[in-house]
Amino acid sequence: MTLVELNDLDAAERAEADRLRRDTRTAAIMDAPEAAAEERRLIAFALLLRLDLSPDAARLFLRQAPALRTVDEVASWVGAIPVQTNMETMQ
C-alpha cells in the first residue's frame, strides 16, 4: 500500500468516526425523553445545533427550557445560552 493510499484510508476512517460521533450525539439529544413531546422537538433541534454543548448539557437545558411556541422564541432562548468552553463542555 502506498503512502497516498494510507492517507486516504486514514481520512476515510476519520470521516467514519466523525459520522458515528455526530449520529451518537444526535440520538442522545433528539431521542432523549426530554425531547419526546412534540413541542420540545424544535428546542431539542436548536440545542443540537449548538456544537459547544455536550449531549448532557443540551438535555439539561432542554429540561429547563420554558414553554416556547415560535422559532423566534426558541432562537432567542437558545442564543442566550452562554458559549461553553471545552472544559465546560466536557463536564
Taking only the tens place, the pLDDT of each residue in 11-28 is 778 888 889 999 999 999
Helix, strand, or coil here: 85?
coil
Taking only the tens place, the pLDDT of each residue in 26-66 is 999 999 999 999 999 999 999 999 999 999 999 999 999 99
For the record, the C-alpha cell of 74 comes out as: 426558541
- Does pLDDT of 4 surpass 90? no
CA-CA distance, 10 to 36, in Å (whole number)?
37
Average pLDDT for residues 66-77, to the nearest whole number?
A: 95
Q: pTM for the whole thing?
A: 0.78
For the record, the C-alpha cell of 14 comes out as: 476519520
